[in-house]
């Protein structure tokens, strides 16, 4: 009797209609990421606090209008909600590890904090905003229709649709999701919303979403799909200014840059191709690309392995007998895996030394030839370590 009376009292106070609540929710979903990441560029972890507060406030404000105690609301069919939430969490964790490359991650303490903040807090906030709120608002609005089979199914479909709309609106708030990339979260919504969709428990979807986020933090810390916002850098229009700055501020005499993507292209140059003649660099200018050549070499070698003309397990000895004291131990695979990074003039010199030692040394000034001999001796001792870049 009292509960009934309270309900009437609440709805009688000219409360907002469920459709208004959904419209407000959609607005919050889009505006929070748009305003705080895209426009204001709030640092990522600080932004999560704002997002979590917005999600909790929205859900809390609506829940107060329902005339149900918070405890009863949270614990409604909680066993089912938690069980299905855990199952969906496991499934989402599997999706993360299957679809994303493993990336490096921070040390223990930072990782633990990230698991808690980006995984648990941010995951739970996403679950509340993208699933619990839209689904439960729809269920409350259409409660009388949920009593029988067919009506129940239709209401479930409407709730799923609402949740997908929230997920889409929320992700469109992030600049990098405005396009093809929106498909992934929209598809994921069906999995992370299912636990609340099936049980009406407000615990299910947040648990599932926490599973997704924790898996992303642990497996794919540098992901550019999960855990938005992703650093999205400056607009291309600002690149020219930065490139000009390289030439003005640093010891760069000329530079040429290109960005090619599925959707757009940017090219720019700065400085001079020929300082003496004061000829500006153009996009048609050739440069020695130095060690980027190693990727080309690897592509050549691997196309030969695909054609069966060479094997990665072949030793140096097989093709170049006697080239090196350890030629019978060094494989083509090891040669390709050399990652010497930048400033590898001496590395190049060393590989040339292996190619045509005497002619090469004869071409050098005596002091330089001496240095090269020292480096080569080190290299012979352990050919798998790159030459010290400080040399």
Partner 1 sequence: MIVERATGERFGAVLGERVLAPLGPDATSYVTGATLPAPYSHAYVSSNDPDRALFRGSQRIDTSGVTLGIAAASAVVATAEDVARFYRALLRGELLSPETVELMTRKGLGLAMYSTPCGLAYGHDGGLYGYVSYARVAADGSKAAVLLASGYQGTGFVDDLFCARP
What residues from 286 to 345 belong to the interface with partner 1 (CB under 8 A)?
Answer: 286-306, 309-310, 314, 316, 319-320, 323, 332-333, 335-339, 341-345
Task: Say whether residue 387 binds partner 1 (CB under 8 A).
Answer: no
Question: Which residues between 82 and 121 bind partner 1 (CB under 8 A)?
Answer: 101, 103-104
Distance, CA of 63 to CA of 69 (rounded, Å): 9
- For every residue of 103-139, DSSP letters joined together read -----HHHHHHHIIIIIIIHHHHHHIIIIIHHHHHHH
CA R_g for the chain: 30
Q: How far is the CB of 248 from partner 1 (least distance, A)?
A: 11
Output the six-digit token pair for 93: 């964790």
274 phi and psi angles, rounded to 5 deg = -135, 105
Distance, CA of 232 to CA of 253 (rounded, Å): 28
Task: Say whether residue 376 binds partner 1 (CB under 8 A).
Answer: no
Task: Say whether residue 360 binds partner 1 (CB under 8 A).
Answer: yes
Q: How far is the CB of 280 from partner 1 (least distance, A)?
A: 10
User: Among 15, 111, 142, 285, which residue interacts with partner 1 (rule: CB under 8 A)?
Assistant: 285
Question: Which residues between 145 and 184 bind partner 1 (CB under 8 A)?
Answer: 175-176
Q: How far is the CB of 90 from partner 1 (least distance, A)?
A: 24
Question: Which residues between 30 and 89 bind partner 1 (CB under 8 A)?
Answer: none
Distance, CA of 377 to CA of 364 (rounded, Å): 17
Under 8 Å between Cβ of 354 and 325? no
Spatial CB neighbours of 128, under 8 Å, sequence gap ≥ 6: 55, 56, 59, 202, 205, 206
User: Among 243, 379, 383, 387, which residue interacts with partner 1 (rule: CB under 8 A)?
Assistant: 243
Residue with tokens 């850098």: 233
User: Among 7, 91, 257, 380, which residue interacts with partner 1 (rule: CB under 8 A)?
Assistant: 257
Q: How far is the CB of 251 from partner 1 (least distance, A)?
A: 5
- The DSSP bridge partners found for residue 265 are 260
Q: How far is the CB of 269 from partner 1 (least distance, A)?
A: 8
Q: How far is the CB of 155 from partner 1 (least distance, A)?
A: 39
Which has the closest alpha carbon to 196: 23, 48, 74, 90? 74
User: Among 276, 359, 362, 377, which residue interacts with partner 1 (rule: CB under 8 A)?
Assistant: 276
User: Among 109, 261, 322, 362, which residue interacts with partner 1 (rule: CB under 8 A)?
Assistant: 261
Q: How far is the CB of 61 from partner 1 (least distance, A)?
A: 35
Q: How far is the CB of 117 from partner 1 (least distance, A)?
A: 19
Q: Which residue, 49 or 301, is less far from partner 1 as judged by CB?
A: 301
Q: Name the DSSP letter for residue 391.
A: -
Q: How far is the CB of 273 from partner 1 (least distance, A)?
A: 4
Q: Which residue, 43 or 60, is less far from partner 1 as judged by CB?
A: 43
Q: Report the sign of the C-alpha dihedral through residues 132, 192, 214, 29, in that order.
A: negative
Q: Which residue, 21 or 177, is less far from partner 1 as judged by CB?
A: 177
Under 8 Å between Cβ of 208 and 93? no
Question: Which residues between 183 and 242 bind partner 1 (CB under 8 A)?
Answer: 222-225, 230-236, 238-239, 242
Q: How far is the CB of 95 from partner 1 (least distance, A)?
A: 17
User: Among 89, 168, 212, 255, which residue interacts with partner 1 (rule: CB under 8 A)?
Assistant: 255
Q: Which residue, 101 or 382, is less far from partner 1 as judged by CB?
A: 101
- For every residue of 146-172, DSSP letters joined together read GGSHHHHHHHHHHHHHHHHHHHHHHHH
How many residues interact with partner 1 (rule CB under 8 A)? 106
The packing angle between helices 345-362 and 366-381, to 10°, is 120
User: Among 5, 252, 313, 385, which residue interacts with partner 1 (rule: CB under 8 A)?
Assistant: 252
The packing angle between helices 18-33 and 44-64, to 10°, is 170
My answer on whether omega of the bond before 61 falls inside 30° of 0, hence cis, is: no
315 phi and psi angles, rounded to 5 deg = -90, 160
């Amino acid at each position: 009797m009292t509960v009934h009376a309270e309900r009437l009292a609440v709805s009688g106070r000219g409360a907002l209609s469920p459709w208004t609540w959904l419209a407000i929710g959609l607005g919050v979903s889009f505006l929070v990421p748009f305003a705080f990441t895209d426009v204001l560029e709030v640092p990522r972890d600080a932004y999560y606090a704002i997002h979590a507060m917005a999600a909790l406030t929205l859900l809390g404000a609506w829940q107060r209008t329902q005339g149900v105690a918070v405890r009863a609301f949270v614990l409604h069919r909680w066993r089912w909600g938690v069980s299905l939430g855990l199952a969906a969490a496991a499934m989402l964790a599997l999706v993360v590890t299957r679809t994303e490359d493993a990336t490096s991650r921070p040390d223990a303490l930072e990782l633990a904090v990230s698991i808690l903040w980006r995984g648990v807090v941010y995951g739970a906030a996403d679950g509340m905003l993208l699933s619990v709120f839209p689904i439960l608002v729809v269920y409350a609005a259409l409660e009388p229709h949920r009593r029988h089979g067919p009506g129940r199914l239709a209401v479930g479909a409407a709730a799923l649709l609402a949740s997908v709309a929230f997920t889409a609106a929320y992700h469109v708030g992030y600049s990098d999701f405005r396009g093809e990339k929106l498909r992934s979260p929209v598809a994921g919504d069906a999995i992370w919303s299912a636990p609340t969709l099936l049980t009406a428990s407000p615990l299910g979807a947040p648990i599932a979403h926490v599973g997704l986020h924790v898996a992303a933090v642990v497996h794919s810390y540098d992901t550019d799909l999960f855990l938005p916002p992703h650093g999205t850098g400056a607009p291309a229009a600002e690149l020219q200014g930065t490139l000009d700055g390289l030439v003005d501020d640093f010891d760069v005499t000329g530079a040429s840059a290109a960005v090619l993507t599925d959707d757009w292209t940017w090219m720019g140059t700065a400085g001079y191709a020929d300082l003496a003649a004061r000829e500006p660099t153009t996009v048609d200018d050739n440069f020695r690309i130095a060690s980027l050549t190693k990727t080309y070499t690897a592509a050549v070698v691997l196309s030969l392995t695909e054609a069966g003309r060479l094997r990665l397990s072949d030793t140096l000895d097989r093709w170049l007998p006697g080239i090196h004291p350890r030629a019978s131990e060094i494989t083509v695979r090891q040669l390709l895996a050399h990652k010497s990074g930048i400033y590898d003039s001496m590395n190049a010199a060393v590989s040339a030394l292996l190619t045509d030692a005497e002619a090469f040394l004869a071409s050098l000034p005596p002091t330089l030839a001496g240095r090269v001999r020292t480096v080569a001796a080190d290299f012979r001792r352990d050919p798998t370590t790159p030459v010290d870049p400080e040399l």
